[in-house]
Amino acid sequence: MGEFEELRRVLTEAMSRRQEGAVVVALDGRSGVGKSTLAAAVARDLGAAVVHGDDFYRDMSDADRRALSPAEGVDRYFDWERLRDEALIPLRERRAASFRCFDWAVGHGLGEGMTIEPCDLVIVEGVYSARPELEPLIDLRVLVALDEIERGQRLDRRAGGTDRHAPSAWDARWDAAERVYFDTIRPEHEFDLVIDGQA
């Protein structure tokens, strides 16, 4: 059975067992492993609603962001409280979720509003989506993993060919926070399922 078929089987079983509320799945993993692509495939195949963690990037000044240690970055880069309150709680209760998204085009502030209609299956995708504080709302924690060489090549392509061997200060801070999270806060063995992002 392939990786996607295994994920589909697990999600279908989880939905069949659920008696009330939606099934909420955290699709977590390092940058560039294929979380968004996998979430879109699940949405097409099973009719899931998708919440993108990137929409909840915390609005703060560059100076404040640079001052964060890697451990502080895990807690502060994304506004997980807003993700919880404005998206996961209502969707889990099968209510529509309405929120404003971080404005990546200008690099600060909250831009356009978004409404996600209730659904039997909700995928929240993004690094830190399986963080312990969200545990009461998450039914299944899925880690998307990928060989580091392939992950680096994907990040290169995403950055338009920028040399990842000479990462920017932003990249270095981001990578350090991800390492803290996956090494000490949510290590691989704590996930319910590990999916190869190459699949």
What per-residue confidence (pLDDT) applies to 152? 75
**Predicted model pTM:** 0.89
User: Among residues 25, 38, 6, 14, which one has the least CA distance to residue 129?
Assistant: 25
pLDDT tens digits, one per residue of 53-107: 999 999 998 899 889 999 999 999 999 999 999 999 999 999 999 999 999 999 8
Average pLDDT over residues 113-137: 96
Domains, the chain, with CATH or none: 3-196 (3.40.50.300)
What per-residue confidence (pLDDT) applies to 138? 96
What per-residue confidence (pLDDT) applies to 1? 47
Query: How many Å apart are CA 82 and CA 149, to the nearest integer?
Result: 34
Torsion angle in degrees (nearest 10) through CA of 27, 30, 31, 37? -30
Query: How many Å apart are CA 41 and CA 38, to the nearest integer?
Result: 5
Residue 161: which pLDDT band, with cuts at 50, 70 and 90? low
What per-residue confidence (pLDDT) applies to 196? 86
Average pLDDT over residues 156-178: 71
Q: What percent of the chain clears pLDDT 90, i.e. is strictly above it?
A: 67
What per-residue confidence (pLDDT) applies to 173? 87
Average pLDDT over residues 18-41: 91
Rounded mean pLDDT of the chain? 89
